[in-house]
Amino acid sequence: MIEVQDKQLEEILEDAISSLSINKVQLCSITKKIQPKNPVCFFEAARQIEKDRVFWTSTNDAFSIAGVGNAYDISANENRFQHMELKWKQVIDQAIIHNSFDVPGTGLVSLGGMDFDPKKDRTELWGDFPAIQFTVPEYMLTKYKENYYFTINVLAKKTDHPIQLANQLRDTERFLLTPIKAEKEKLRMLTTKVIAPEEWKKTVKKATEEIRHTSIDKIVLAREMRVKLNKNANIATILDQLLATQSNSFVFAFERNNNCFIGATPERLVKIENKQLLSTCLAGTAPRGKSETEDRQISNQLFHDEKNREEHDFVVQMIKKGLNKYCVNVHVPEEPTVYPLKNLQHLYTPVTGKLKAGYSIFDIVEQLHPTPALGGVPRNDAITFIRDYELLDRGWYGAPVGWLDSNDNGEFAVAIRSALIQNDEASLFAGCGVVKDSIPEAEFEETRIKFTPMLSVLGGES
């Protein structure tokens, strides 16, 4: 691989086009290093060219990807993980990739997500989000530590003229890399509607009865809040606010037509970099205190709370068992720590290992999803209850979202603390773990707190 300079763009495209037969196309991926650019400004600039956008930031790792347009889409229905892995390998094998940088998230990268439960009946709410879909953006900005990279992914056709195509790509690149700041005017909520609160509490009660009389230990139930805004939401502005307020989180946005699934989740499912794997167990929740003293008291109560520790241990044991199948040198600390966020704090345990040869990040995602923090214990029985009795179509909420590259690096987080925005309306989602002694009113209050991160950036209060 050679480092790509602008003058080489025509040569790369000419070689790709000349090798094509009629009615064939060639995916070309071309990466270069650039001067620092704000990923949110890049994302905002893309609004002017009316293409779908994607955004991903791991705030703790100084890592961001902002993507524009769809050079290639991969979707599936049956055997979704196996099909996606096979198709992704085919895309990599057939693509021409010019990337001289050994940097995660550069070169050929695909970003996307999937349904929480592919067997759940779908509703119109998630109509623009396939059961599983990953997109290779046409233009992509990657920030890795202190360095920035720009990638063009173009689907070249036999009828394309290499010089004209190169000039078109450069024109769009210049436009996207010209600084454009997101508008600063904040949104206001005009109305909020909690969907079926009393029915939801009855479902919690039914879940506790199911747990007492069956082998189920835990069932996670989610609910929805619908809000009306004073104007169409500017997604870049919301991203800016999430980045400013939700530290220790993965900030994401997946745009499809006029819908955008956006959030700031603290829960990593899996990260793989150079075959080194990291998964995190995040379960057990409490609010932050209004003072340092109160915050420490709440943190200490959370750490010693039997219900929360039990809920957390469900997740730890499941992830440890799952990773032992695909990894060597699996390490799990003996006790959790308390992980602070702006509005909430959680019990947290990291799990590390090294991926065995012959396995991919899709194997890990399939093994771990859904964790007990989003589904329940045992998994299949809990999911069946959720499928039969939960009052909403989760869609991509609570499911893995993330990215993977052509060098076997990737990262997925669990899409909680999120909202599906549709112009001047939004659906917000929050869930909680129900066990045999759960009290419906207390669980309702826990989910109310979990709405806070998204409510705060949409102009509302908890």
Which residues define the annotated binding site for Mg(2+)?
A: 311, 446
SS3 70: coil
Which of the following is catalytic: 44, 85, 138, 267?
267
DSSP 3-state of 305: coil
- 389 CB burial (10 A radius; 0-12, 13-18, 19+): middle
Bridge partners of residue 54, in order along the sequence: 67, 254
Annotated catalytic residue within 32, 120, 218, 271? 218
Contact 292, 161 (CB under 8 A): no
Amino acid at 236: A
Which is nearest to 179 in space by CA: 53, 55, 34? Answer: 34
In whole angstroms, give the CA distance from residue 117 to residue 115: 5
Contact (CB, 8 A) for 221 and 211: no
422 forms beta bridges with 259, 425
267 belongs to the catalytic site:
yes
Identify the DSSP state of 368. Answer: H
Contacts of 130 (CB under 8 A, 6+ apart): 75
End-to-end CA distance of the chain: 52
Q: How far apart are CA 168 and CA 389, in angstroms?
A: 52
Residues 6+ apart with CB under 8 A from 54: 65, 66, 67, 111, 112, 135, 137, 253, 254, 255
User: How far apart (Å, rounded) are the C-alpha atoms in residues 320 and 281?
Assistant: 10
Binding site: residue ranges?
A: 311, 446
Gap between the Cα atoms of 379 and 87, Å rounded: 28
Contact 440, 102 (CB under 8 A): no
Positions marked active-site: 218, 267
